[in-house]
């Protein structure tokens, strides 16, 4: 509590934001986590939370290290074993395994793949990482209308696929748009 969904917490309170995050993460991982065609790993921040009993069990965990979101995602891309990688947010209640499969398929013919979100960001980014690992996240302004476009500019010259746009939950108004896509959505009083 207090370290996840901080923008949402400012509007609905830390308890409700944390409950939303835990509920949504659990539901997303139940739908996509245990597939034979890919391996799911949890990227955890802060590093000290890797052993937290609050995290879903049954998945390998990796400390993300220090830095902003882009630095932490770049570290995942840089330090993972060879091959394509898809990184998703767990604050996207409508993610299904078909979305992940679509991203993986897109990486067969593209250098990168993004799943845009309506707020100007993205809920998924994947890189083939061959022949090199692109610097996709350098100087990106996170949580802005330009997040996706800045990331795409960093991928200039590469063949980038776009898959389905899905909403993520960053603010109280986002909860209303995803209501019903996960078992239990925690709404602020009066919504």
pLDDT tens-place string over residues 6-25: 888 888 888 988 888 888 88
Domains defined along the chain, listed by start: 6-178 (3.90.550.10)
CA distances from 87 to 3, 71, 142, 154, 179 (A): 20, 13, 15, 17, 24
Q: What is the pLDDT of residues 38-86, one digit of tens each?
A: 999 999 888 998 998 888 888 999 999 999 999 999 999 999 988 999 9
Q: Return the closest-CA partner of residue 89 out of 146, 20, 161, 184.
A: 20
144, 93 Cβ separation under 8 angstroms: no
Say whether the peptide bond before residue 80 is cis (omega within 30 degrees of 0): no
89, 167 Cβ separation under 8 angstroms: no
Residue 187 has what pLDDT? 37
- Flag whether pLDDT at 147 surpasses 80: yes
Q: And the tokens for 182? A: 């996960």
Residue 89 has what pLDDT? 87
Bridge partners (DSSP) of residue 63 are: 44
Average pLDDT over residues 126-133: 92
- Flag whether pLDDT at 179 surpasses 70: no
- Give the phi and the psi of residue 173 in degrees, each rounded to 5: -65, -25
d(CA 156, CA 127): 13
Q: What is the pLDDT of residues 132-144, one digit of tens each?
A: 899 999 999 998 9
């Amino acid at each position: 509590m207090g370290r996840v969904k901080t923008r949402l917490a400012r509007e609905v309170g830390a308890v409700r934001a944390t409950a939303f995050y835990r509920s949504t993460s659990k539901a997303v991982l139940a739908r996509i986590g245990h597939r034979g065609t890919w391996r799911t790993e949890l990227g955890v921040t802060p590093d000290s939370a890797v052993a937290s009993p609050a995290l879903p069990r049954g998945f390998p965990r990796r400390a993300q290290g220090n830095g902003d979101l882009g630095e932490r995602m770049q570290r995942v891309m840089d330090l993972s074993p060879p091959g394509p990688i898809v990184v998703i947010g767990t604050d996207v209640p409508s993610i299904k395994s078909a979305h992940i499969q679509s991203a993986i398929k897109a990486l067969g013919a593209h250098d990168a793949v993004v799943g845009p979100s309506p707020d100007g960001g993205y809920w998924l980014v994947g890189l083939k990482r061959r022949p090199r690992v692109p610097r996709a996240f350098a100087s990106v302004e996170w949580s802005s209308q330009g997040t996706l476009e800045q990331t795409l500019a960093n991928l200039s010259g590469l063949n980038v696929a776009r898959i389905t746009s899905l909403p993520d939950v960053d603010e109280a108004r986002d909860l209303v748009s995803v209501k019903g896509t996960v078992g239990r959505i925690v709404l602020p009083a009066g919504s």
